[in-house]
Structure 1
């Protein structure tokens, strides 16, 4: 993460249009969430906990109009200098299925890190668009004009797929590239392979993460090959 200062966009200004649109359809709201314990919080191939375990919790409120808002929190470890030991993501988005097979999700995500010591500011915004086919294949694009709080543009692109091997077991694979040229002079590529077993509302997941050598130069000690195990309860 980059600790350069930046001026955060007011969250209420971002969320107000979503709340106003959802309010008239309060009877059609759907609440859901996920509680997770993971052996290593890995975000886009980079460990956010220096290889340590993390509890995580996410909640989502969605309307039948397709509009939704969500909160997601996790432990992080960026060292004593920055101070923050938590990440809180605030999301306002829209999700729509069309032509029966396609799904489009567009959201604005605000990544925040409560407790970060001034003058450092790690918070930043990203617009994320995901197109999914048959609930199986996906392509995602993330765009930020202040990527990792650097004050520069960053673009994240990802493609992936799910491969069912029975009613309860599946594999998921993805490949991605994070364009950080403007911020750090170099980007990096990554790949991930996950095995997921579902028992009722519980998912058991084991994931292998791989990043290119450029990621290890950009994020020494927290990039490279690693294995993560997690258990999630979906409610």
Structure 2
């Protein structure tokens, strides 16, 4: 829902998703993380505060997979919800050895949101990756960010391995939000160091003035750090 942003998907999780008995041909994976600031598409979801995050995924030989991901959020007492839970159903396949295609439907949910607010929404996401290094992603929703309007998110990114354990990732994106009658651009640069099953990440985020108009106080330039254990 990353990690190619949320795509590599920031994609995401709740405990108890994984069945007690493994299905034939199924591959289970997950992650447990702590971030200093949960930033989604350039916007802080925790007002600059730390957040624990948990993810789980089951993938099948056919290419189909299901995933879930959960994080703490802070939208204020008026909203009520202090958690985001994303549920994902998708299909992933390597094409002609060098290309990978991932198509999924992600359901963003916010348990505990106070009525009459409804922040839940669906997004169809497609990502095409070349040589596991270069990618382009497109997300489309009829109710982006629970705004009631269409949203189109377009992202390109690149990964630059500097060694077997250290890499740099870059992202540039545009988010067109009809429900807010505006759009904004974002960029991100991350340094990731891998130690065994653990990833240590430091990211710098930048957003255009459009994001500051739409989301005052939680957009703009910021730095966040995260540690994740993958299993």
> What is the TM-score when the length of structure 2 is the normalising length?
0.90
Match of 2:51 in 1: 54
Deviation at 1:207, TM superposition (A): 0.1
| 2:145 counterpart of 1:148 | yes
Higher-Rg structure is 1
Q: After TM superposition, list the pairs within 5 Å mapping 1:55-70 onto structure 2.
A: 55-70=52-67
Match of 1:210 in 2: 206
Match of 2:135 in 1: 138
Deviation at 1:155, TM superposition (A): 0.1
Give the whole-Å Cα distance in 1 for the aligned partners of 2:205 and 2:82: 23
Give the whole-Å Cα distance in 1 for the aligned partners of 2:79 and 2:148: 18
Q: After TM superposition, list the pairs within 5 Å mapping 1:213-224 onto structure 2.
A: 213-224=209-220
Give the whole-Å Cα distance in 2 for the aligned partners of 1:105 and 1:51: 31
Give the whole-Å Cα distance in 1 for the aligned partners of 2:148 and 2:48: 27
Give the whole-Å Cα distance in 2 for the aligned partners of 1:119 and 1:218: 21
Q: Alpha carbon RMSD of aligned pairs, Å?
A: 0.8
Match of 1:125 among 109, 119, 122: 122
Following TM superposition, the consecutive aligned residue runs of length 4 or more in structure 1 with deviations greater than 3 angstroms are none
Deviation at 1:26, TM superposition (A): 2.8
Give the whole-Å Cα distance in 1 for the aligned partners of 2:155 and 2:116: 33
Give the whole-Å Cα distance in 1 for the aligned partners of 2:170 and 2:131: 16
> What is the TM-score when the length of structure 1 is the normalising length?
0.88
Give the whole-Å Cα distance in 2 for the aligned partners of 1:153 and 1:145: 4
Give the whole-Å Cα distance in 1 for the aligned partners of 2:120 and 2:182: 21
Match of 2:222 among 204, 219, 226: 226
Deviation at 1:88, TM superposition (A): 0.2
Q: After TM superposition, list the pairs within 5 Å mapping 1:106-121 onto structure 2.
A: 106-121=103-118
Match of 1:197 among 193, 196, 199: 193
Please identify which structure carries the higher helix content: 1
Offset from partner CA, 1:14-41 (integer Å, 9 cap, x none): xxxxxxxxxxx93100000011100000
Match of 1:76 among 73, 88, 91: 73
Give the whole-Å Cα distance in 1 for the aligned partners of 2:180 and 2:64: 35
Query: Unmatched 5+ residue regions in structure 1?
Result: 1-24
Offset from partner CA, 1:141-166 (integer Å, 9 cap, x none): 00000111111100000000000111
